[in-house]
Amino acid sequence: MSTIQSQVFQNWTFKACEDQEWLPAQVPGCVHTDLLKLGKIPDPFYGTNEKEVQWIDKKDWEYQTKFDVQEKLFAQEHLELVFDGLDTYADVYVNDQHVLSADNMFRVWNVDVKAVVKAQDNVLRIRFRSPIQEDLPKLEKLGYALPAANDQSDVGELGDKKVSIFARKAPYHYGWDWGPRFVTSGIWREARLEGWSEVRITDVFIQQQEVSASVASLTAVVEIDADHAGDTVIRISTDGQVWEQAVTLKSGLQTVEVPVTMDQPKLWWSRGLGEAHLYSFVTEVLAGERVLAESTVKTGIRSIRLVRDKDEVGASFYFELNGVAVFAKGANHIPNDSFITEITAERYRHEIVSAAESNMNMLRVWGGGIYEEDVFYDLCDEYGLLVWQDFMFACSMYPGDEAFLNSVRHEAIDNVKRLRNHPSIALWCGNNEIDSAWAHFNENGGWGWKKDFNTEQRESIWADYKAVFHDLLPEVVEAYAPGIDYWPSSPLVSLTDDEKQHAHPSTSEGDIHYWGVWHSVEPFENYNVHVGRFMSEYGFQSFPEYKSVRTYAEEQDLALESEVMLAHQKNGAGNRLIKQYMDMYMHEPKDFPSFLYMSQVLQAEAMKTAIEAHRRRKPYCMGTLYWQMNDCWPVASWAGMDYLGRWKALQYYAKRSFSDVLISVDGTKEDTTDIYLISDQLKAVEGTLQLRLIGFDGTVHREEEHEVTLAPNSGQQVLSLDQAEWLQEHSPATTLLRLDLKQEGQADIVQEHYFAPSKDIGLKQAEIQVKEVKENDTVYLVLESDVLAKQVWISTEAEGVFSDNFFDLIPGIPVKVKFTSRAGLQDSSAVSSAGTIQVRSMADFITL
Q: Comparing C-alpha atoms, which of 669, 710, 714 is closest to residue 689?
A: 710
Element (H, E) at 79: strand 78-83
pLDDT of 71 over the 90 cut:
yes
Q: What are phi and psi of 93, to 5 degrees?
A: -125, 135
Which three-class secondary structure state does DSSP give residue 437? helix
Contact status, residue 129 vs residue 87, Cβ threshold 8 Å: no
Contact status, residue 88 vs residue 190, Cβ threshold 8 Å: no
Residue 585 to residue 756: CA distance in whole angstroms: 11
99 assigned to some structural domain = yes
Residue 443's CB is within 10 A of a number of other CB atoms, namely 10
Residue 92 to residue 103: CA distance in whole angstroms: 11
pLDDT of 831 over the 80 cut:
no
Spatial CB neighbours of 358, under 8 Å, sequence gap ≥ 6: 640, 651, 654, 655, 658
Q: What is the pLDDT of residues 96-109, one digit of tens each?
A: 999 999 999 999 99
**Residue 686 has what pLDDT?**
95
pLDDT of 585 over the 50 cut:
yes
78 assigned to some structural domain = yes
| Sign (positive or negative) of CA dihedral 751, 753, 758, 764 | negative
Does 106 lie in the same domain as 227?
Answer: no
Does 249 lie in the same domain as 294?
Answer: yes
3-state secondary structure 349-361: HHHHHHHHHCCCC
Does 632 lie in the same domain as 754?
Answer: no
Nearest 5°: the CA angle 662, 626, 583 is 90
Residue 391 to residue 364: CA distance in whole angstroms: 11
Segment 482-500 shows an average pLDDT of: 96
Confidence band for 777, pLDDT divided at 50, 70 and 90: confident
Residue 516 to residue 316: CA distance in whole angstroms: 23
Residue 64 to residue 68: CA distance in whole angstroms: 14
Q: Quick one: CA torsion of 728, 734, 737, 740, rounded to 10 degrees?
A: -140
Percent of the chain predicted with pLDDT > 90: 95
Does 392 lie in the same domain as 506?
Answer: yes
CATH code of the domain in which 843 resides: 2.60.40.10
Does 358 lie in the same domain as 290?
Answer: no
Q: Give Cα separations from 298 to 374, 622, 735 (angstroms).
A: 12, 29, 54
Pairing of strands 13-16, 61-67: antiparallel
Angle between helices 574-585 and 592-616 (to 10 degrees): 80
Final residue of a structural domain among 734, 762, 790:
762
pLDDT of 524 over the 50 cut:
yes
pLDDT of 832 over the 90 cut:
no
Does 270 lie in the same domain as 229?
Answer: yes
646 assigned to some structural domain = yes
Q: Comparing C-alpha atoms, which of 113, 117, 89 is closest to residue 101?
A: 89
Q: Comparing C-alpha atoms, which of 609, 625, 610, 617 is closest to residue 753?
A: 609
Does 121 lie in the same domain as 237?
Answer: no
Contact status, residue 428 vs residue 416, Cβ threshold 8 Å: yes
606 assigned to some structural domain = no
Residue 641 to residue 600: CA distance in whole angstroms: 11
Does 483 lie in the same domain as 344?
Answer: yes
Residue 360 to residue 269: CA distance in whole angstroms: 13
| Sign (positive or negative) of CA dihedral 453, 459, 465, 467 | negative
Q: What are phi and psi of 65, to 5 degrees?
A: -145, 150
Q: Which residues constitute the domain of residue 809? A: 763-848
CATH code of the domain in which 155 resides: 2.60.120.260
More confident residue, 672 or 506: 672
Q: What is the pLDDT of residues 727-776, one digit of tens each?
A: 999 999 999 999 999 998 888 899 999 999 999 999 999 999 999 998 88
Q: What is the pLDDT of residues 147-188, one digit of tens each?
A: 999 999 999 999 999 999 999 999 999 999 999 999 999 999
Spatial CB neighbours of 375, under 8 Å, sequence gap ≥ 6: 345, 348, 349
Angle between helices 374-383 and 345-357 (to 10 degrees): 30
Side chain identity at 137, as an amino acid letter?
A: P
Contact status, residue 635 vs residue 179, Cβ threshold 8 Å: yes
Contact status, residue 508 vs residue 309, Cβ threshold 8 Å: no
| DSSP conformation class of 336 | S
Q: What are phi and psi of 299, to 5 degrees?
A: -155, 170
Which three-class secondary structure state does DSSP give residue 415? helix
Does 98 lie in the same domain as 183?
Answer: yes
Pairing of strands 778-785, 768-775: antiparallel
Q: Comparing C-alpha atoms, which of 182, 185, 129, 184 is closest to residue 152?
A: 182
**Residue 506 has what pLDDT?**
86
3-state secondary structure 364-393: EECCCCCCCCHHHHHHHHHHCCEEEEECCC
**Residue 1 has what pLDDT?**
39
Q: Quick one: CA torsion of 280, 285, 286, 287, rounded to 10 degrees?
A: -170
Burial class of residue 826, CB neighbours in 10 A (0-12, 13-18, 19+): middle
Burial class of residue 18, CB neighbours in 10 A (0-12, 13-18, 19+): exposed
Q: Comparing C-alpha atoms, which of 535, 563, 564 is closest to residue 549?
A: 564
Q: Comparing C-alpha atoms, which of 347, 326, 325, 346 is closest to residue 335?
A: 347
Pairing of strands 789-796, 485-487: unpaired
Residue 14 to residue 21: CA distance in whole angstroms: 8
Residue 488 to residue 108: CA distance in whole angstroms: 24
More confident residue, 702 or 833: 702
478 assigned to some structural domain = yes
Instruction: Please state whether 121 falls in left (phi above 0), alpha (psi between -120 and 50) or beta.
Output: left
Quote the mean pLDDT of the chain.
Answer: 96
DSSP alpha helix (H) spans, 694-777: 723-727
CATH code of the domain in which 492 resides: 3.20.20.80
311 assigned to some structural domain = no
**Residue 775 has what pLDDT?**
86
pLDDT of 605 over the 80 cut:
yes
Residue 78's CB is within 10 A of a number of other CB atoms, namely 16
DSSP alpha helix (H) spans, 736-811: none
Does 729 lie in the same domain as 651?
Answer: no
Long-range contacts of 684-688 (CB under 8 A, 24+ apart): 684/709, 684/710, 684/711, 684/712, 685/661, 685/709, 685/710, 685/741, 685/743, 686/710, 686/743, 687/741, 687/742, 687/743, 687/744, 688/741, 688/742
Residue 670 to residue 610: CA distance in whole angstroms: 19
Final residue of a structural domain among 164, 193, 222:
193
Q: Give Cα separations from 134 to 131, 144, 307 (angstroms).
A: 5, 17, 43
| For residue 634, cis peptide bond before it (omega within 30 degrees of 0) | no
Confidence band for 396, pLDDT divided at 50, 70 and 90: very high
| Sign (positive or negative) of CA dihedral 579, 583, 584, 585 | positive
Segment 790-814 shows an average pLDDT of: 96
Residue 283 to residue 1: CA distance in whole angstroms: 14
Residue 4 to residue 108: CA distance in whole angstroms: 17
Does 689 lie in the same domain as 754?
Answer: yes
Contact status, residue 233 vs residue 286, Cβ threshold 8 Å: yes
Q: Comparing C-alpha atoms, which of 538, 680, 697 is closest to residue 606?
A: 538
Residue 330 to residue 168: CA distance in whole angstroms: 28
496 assigned to some structural domain = yes
Strand partners, 5: 195
Final residue of a structural domain among 167, 193, 219:
193
Burial class of residue 145, CB neighbours in 10 A (0-12, 13-18, 19+): middle
Does 158 lie in the same domain as 20?
Answer: yes
514 assigned to some structural domain = yes
Q: How many domains does the chain have?
A: 5
Confidence band for 721, pLDDT divided at 50, 70 and 90: very high
Residue 255 to residue 207: CA distance in whole angstroms: 13
**In the chain, how many H helices and how many E strands?**
17, 45
**Residue 439 has what pLDDT?**
97
